[in-house]
Amino acid sequence: MPEGPEIRRAADRVAKAVVGAEITGVEFGLPALTQYQAELSTSEVTEVTTRGKGMLTRFACGLTVFSHNQLYGKWMVTAKPQLPTTRRSLRFAIYTPKRWALLYSASTIEVVPDGAVEEIPFIAGLGPDCLDRLTTPAKVRRRLSSRRFHRRGLTALLLDQSFIAGLGNYLRSEILFEAGVHPDLRPVDCTEAQRAALAKAIVAMPRRSYKTGGITTDPKLAEALKEQGHRRRDYRHWVFRRGGQPCYRCGDTVVDGEHGGRRTSHCPTCQPPPQR
């Protein structure tokens, strides 16, 4: 599933293609939403933003389209006004004379008046957005230490969108690695220094990933590995999906595991196991 940074980059691509452009049509794949097509088709897109892994496409007429890609949704922005070759089903399309923004296979799409956006259950349940500039390490640190969250296992907590919105599988492993925290710990088990490092990583890693297009390793390291001929999948992450390979920091062997049915990876030396 795309995580916060990927959705934000998709929103940027869609915004570039449609914001302020003449709209020649808006189309929905779900019959329940076709009633909005006429009004949106004569309007203009004013803004495309994200909240966690959800996207908000705002129209000048006062309606907002909320979409969530879930597991299979995919945005495609065409360079020409024509449909790409795909077997996916089209769920939401914004047509302009030059480019088309097309959402395929998404499982959640709603159209609401601007004023009702905060009442969409998905949006109402979100914690601070990992990419929001108001989400600071100090704010995240307070949440980690709060009664509501401090006894939750970190592997579950980091995926809980009500804790911090926008984190997913790869960011979870990369944040824990960056902070030097073992996946089995809870915030309450961590030292003050570890909680501070976690808060810092929770803010820093999604921003880095957004900026680099999905790379969470140190940009200088990634560049050096690329120059040595390594493939992107080898230098993209510190530990995620690198089980059996050497840690870039200490040389120990990265371990792939599973928490809650979803992949985690960690370095046993950089992220020492809890003392029992």
The residue ranges that bind Zn ion (CB under 5 A) are: 247, 249-250, 252, 267, 269-270
- Among 186, 226, 241, 262, the one annotated catalytic: 262
What is the edge-to-edge ordering of all strands in the sheet holding 108-113?
Answer: 45-51, 54-59, 63-68, 108-113
Verify whether residue 44 is a known catalytic residue: no
In the complex with Zn ion, the residue whose CB is nearer, 79 or 224, is: 224
In the complex with Zn ion, the residue whose CB is nearer, 13 or 249, is: 249
Q: How does DSSP assign 176-194, residue by residue? A: HHHHT--TT--GGGS-HHH
Smallest Cα–Cα separation from 68: which of 151, 161, 155? 161
User: From CA 218, how far away is CA 224, in angstroms rounded?
Assistant: 10
CB of 18 to Zn ion, least distance (A): 44
- Contact indicator for 165, 52 with CB cutoff of 8 Å: yes
CB of 247 to Zn ion, least distance (A): 3
CB of 183 to Zn ion, least distance (A): 14
Verify whether residue 211 is a known catalytic residue: no
Verify whether residue 3 is a known catalytic residue: yes
In the complex with Zn ion, the residue whose CB is nearer, 226 or 249, is: 249
Verify whether residue 272 is a known catalytic residue: no
In the complex with Zn ion, the residue whose CB is nearer, 41 or 269, is: 269
β-bridge partners, 74: 104
Residue nearest to Zn ion (CB): 247
Three-class SS of residue 276?
coil
User: From CA 48, how far away is CA 58, in angstroms rounded?
Assistant: 6
- Contact indicator for 77, 5 with CB cutoff of 8 Å: no
User: From CA 94, how far away is CA 259, in angstroms rounded?
Assistant: 39
CB of 5 to Zn ion, least distance (A): 24
**What positions carry a catalytic annotation?**
2-3, 53, 262
